[in-house]
Structure 1
Amino acid sequence: MAPAVGSRRGHLLWLTCMLCSAPARVAADSLVGNLVVTQNSSLPWPSSYLTRMGLKVSFLLHDPSDFFKSASFLYSWDFGDGTLMVTEDPVVYYNYSIIGTFTVKLNVVAEWEQARLDATKGIVQKTGDFSTSLKLQETLQGIQVLGPTLIQTFQKLTLTLNFLGSPPLTVCWRLKAECLPLEEGECQPVSVASMAYNLTHTFRDPGDYCFSIRAENVISKSHQYHRVQVWPSSLQPAVFAFPCATLITVMLAFIMYMTLRNATQQKDMVENPEPPSGVRCCCQMCCGPFLLETHSEYLEVVRENHGLLPPLYKSVKTYTV
């Protein structure tokens, strides 16, 4: 009975050892850990970082029992912008030069030697894939204004503002006589969620104006100015200049003509007053012989006025006895 009891105890002891080592075997089946990204800046948005500033990306392996203490690791990095990197160190430093949202991917391979049942040693390999999302932003470095600098009144002016920085932005603008910075509360802010913004305005009065523009995000702010010269609408198109000048010239000539004509008529009435047409006709018929110089002129006047009347003088018949 003793051997049986001993063998039974040995079997139970073997099962106990197997159960004790089970968590370590489960942990060894896959790598457990996470990626940690840090930067010497503080932004209020989650997972947001600045461009052109060094990022520290670290892989932290979860191994409380030191199961992988004798393992060697190989790290394959993919920063999402086309940059690949292979290191033996779990910590890398990287700079993003453009804004956007990127996903950092990491493949970790762990290798170590392990004794086999036949007393030989073999290479054991475990892998794990990890990733994290990053939102890269940049400071507002300036504002580019595109639009005309000369316009006429009652025309719609459109300016395009291109922001050299990361949205979201707060944009504020106002028209001034001089290009001066905007004070706090001087204009109504507008929220902009893109890299460009269209500003429209219609001028009613001519003059020189200056658009004072301010844009800012939580990182920084920037000012920009744009001068505009406004001309009256009636002076701008030259196509109306010639017709207007011609019309004014014709009107002046007509006025001068009418003035000279009235003056001439008044002078003629004072120097040579004429009776009405009826009186003149009657005078030509009745007083013609006295007013006309010759008899032929008198006959010509009578012929014109009474062409159908018989001649005033008849031929005298001569009889011979």
Structure 2
Amino acid sequence: MAPALWPRLSRMLWLACLLPLAPARVAADLYELRLTTDGPATTGAEVTITASLVADDNGSLVLPASAHLYRFHWLHTPLLLTGKTDEAFSSTIRAVGNTPGDFPVSVWVTTADCWMCQPVARSLFVLPITEFLVGNLLVTQNTSLPWPSSYLTKTVLKVSFLLHDPSNFFKAASFLYSWDFGDGTQMVTEDATVYYNYSIIGSFTVKVKVVAEWEQATLDAGKRIVQKTGDFSASLKLQETLQGIQVSGPTLIQTFQKMIVTLNFLGSPPLNVCWRLKPECLPLEEGECHPVSVDSTAYNLTHIFRDPGDYCFSIRAENAISKTHQYHKIQVWPSSIQPAVFAFPCATLITMMLAFIMYMTLRNAAHQKDMVEVADFDFSPMSDKNPEPPTGVRCCCQMCCGPFMLETPSEYLEVVRENHGLLPPLYKSVKTYTV
């Protein structure tokens, strides 16, 4: 009889041990544990960590009405626990880290009556503790720009240092701020907020070194000065409004010829540029242009005209601050007519030159014929049968025919001597009288 009871008893004990585990196994698939913290923190400052049990399917399940069904278990060493608060389906602890580093903190939830059973939910995260100050720089301006970290030049910037101190650890500290705005300007203030105006465009990095100092009691009832520092920075991109667009390119071009127009933007990129060809120079409407993203201050437009006529490039550019318009007129000539226009004057000039050459050739030929006829005249010594030619004819022959028949005046005089003997000199000698 006794041997038969042992199997039944052992089965009943086994079922009794399984009963506490049944709800936990079911709940483990239904809930999750979420952790929140106000860290990171500096050494010596108190950190708050909260664990909350929530439904795993975004809240469609309802948690049990009793808050005493579950228990939260924390593992936070080497952090020093300074306080713990348990609420309905949540638990909060406060801890302090005296050494810098990254410390894991884990928490798990079990049923209240079986803390050795399988956890309903668990979670783990790493808490950073630093020996420096914790905070960040906040840069604001009245003008909001769509690009991150973009601001307007020649407009006041507000730069503020925000200390992260949720436990009010630095309530008795005094602060000193050393500012560097990245353009050569530096200043030291006791205020965590400064105002600055950048006058040029570009990318800058504003930096601040923060020093916190306060008195702290020692174990021997004395006091000592404690100091903590921190270095912080923020990147800025300063832009300015578009002052205009400079357009350089041809104003006269042929059809089917590639045209390049260079646009120089008097403003800071990035830019949204659009353009369109119109018969007249009119502003562009929204959605009627070819949009182009430009990351520099220059851009080249290329286009090939297929039809002759008068056109106007309507150009619009805008950055995060402003927008501007510009126009460029251009006249397109047909490629088949323009060469003929230039060829006609050339053909006319060539024809005139040929006509002049022919005229000069014919004229020279006529002169040579007259010279030959004059050369046949008899210049033999005069006799009674051959009377001396008239004086007019002789002079004409000497003046007109001589230069064409003879190469030099000396040859001409030699011929005259041979035919006529001695002739009177061309110039009469001047008689000299002595008184």
Between the two proteins, the alignment pairs up a number of residues equal to: 236
Using the TM superposition, give the Cα deviation of residue 113 of structure 1 relative to its aligned residue in structure 2, in angstroms.
2.9
8 Å CA contact 2:261, 2:300 repeated in 1:
yes
- In structure 2, the CA distance between the partners of 1:95 and 1:236, relative to structure 1 (3 Å rule), is farther
SS at match of 1:139: coil
Match of 1:128 among 230, 236, 250: 230
Superposed CA deviations along residues 33-67 of structure 1, whole A, max 9, x for unmatched, are 11112222232333332222222111111223333
Q: Quick one: distance in 2 between partners of 1:58 and 1:229?
A: 57
Q: Quick one: distance in 2 between partners of 1:188 and 1:90?
A: 47
Match of 2:198 among 96, 111, 121: 96
- Larger relative contact order, structure 1 or 2 (CA cutoff 8 Å, min sep 6): 1
TM-score normalised per structure 1 = 0.60
Using the TM superposition, give the Cα deviation of residue 88 of structure 1 relative to its aligned residue in structure 2, in angstroms.
0.9
Q: Does 1:23 find its partner at 2:96? A: yes
Mind listing any 5+ residue stretches in structure 2 that lack a counterpart? Answer: 1-79, 83-93, 100-128, 359-435
Q: Does 1:114 find its partner at 2:206? A: no
Residue identity matched to 1:23: V
Superposed CA deviations along residues 236-274 of structure 1, whole A, max 9, x for unmatched, are 869x844553147759x99xxxxxxxxxxxxxxxxxxxx
Residue identity matched to 1:44: P
8 Å CA contact 1:169, 1:217 repeated in 2:
yes
- In structure 2, the CA distance between the partners of 1:142 and 1:22, relative to structure 1 (3 Å rule), is same
- In structure 2, the CA distance between the partners of 1:236 and 1:94, relative to structure 1 (3 Å rule), is farther
Residue identity matched to 1:137: Q
SS at match of 2:148: coil
1:246 matched residue in structure 2: 350
8 Å CA contact 2:152, 2:321 repeated in 1:
no
Correspondence list, 1:19-58, <5 A: 20=82, 23=96, 29-58=131-160
Q: Does 1:138 find its partner at 2:240? A: yes
- In structure 2, the CA distance between the partners of 1:88 and 1:235, relative to structure 1 (3 Å rule), is farther
Superposed CA deviations along residues 142-169 of structure 1, whole A, max 9, x for unmatched, are 2221234455666543221122334333
Using the TM superposition, give the Cα deviation of residue 131 of structure 1 relative to its aligned residue in structure 2, in angstroms.
1.7
Match of 1:213 among 312, 315, 322: 315
2:286 matched residue in structure 1: 184
TM-score normalised per structure 2 = 0.46
Q: Quick one: distance in 1 between partners of 2:265 and 2:98?
A: 55
Correspondence list, 1:139-218, <5 A: 139-151=241-253, 155-203=257-305, 208-218=310-320
SS at match of 2:269: coil
Residue identity matched to 1:139: T
Mind listing any 5+ residue stretches in structure 1 that lack a counterpart? Answer: 1-17, 255-321
Q: Quick one: distance in 1 between partners of 2:177 and 2:298?
A: 40
1:77 matched residue in structure 2: 179
1:300 matched residue in structure 2: none
8 Å CA contact 1:154, 1:233 repeated in 2:
no
Structure ranking higher in strand proportion: 2
Residue identity matched to 1:168: P
SS at match of 1:140: coil
Structure ranking higher in helix proportion: 1
RMSD: 3.6
Q: Quick one: distance in 1 between partners of 2:307 and 2:81?
A: 91
Identity %, equivalent residues: 74
Q: Quick one: distance in 2 between partners of 1:152 and 1:236?
A: 13
Q: Quick one: distance in 1 between partners of 2:314 and 2:288?
A: 11
8 Å CA contact 2:147, 2:320 repeated in 1:
no
Q: Quick one: distance in 2 between partners of 1:53 and 1:22?
A: 45
Q: Quick one: distance in 2 between partners of 1:174 and 1:136?
A: 30
Using the TM superposition, give the Cα deviation of residue 104 of structure 1 relative to its aligned residue in structure 2, in angstroms.
2.1
1:226 matched residue in structure 2: 328
Using the TM superposition, give the Cα deviation of residue 19 of structure 1 relative to its aligned residue in structure 2, in angstroms.
6.8
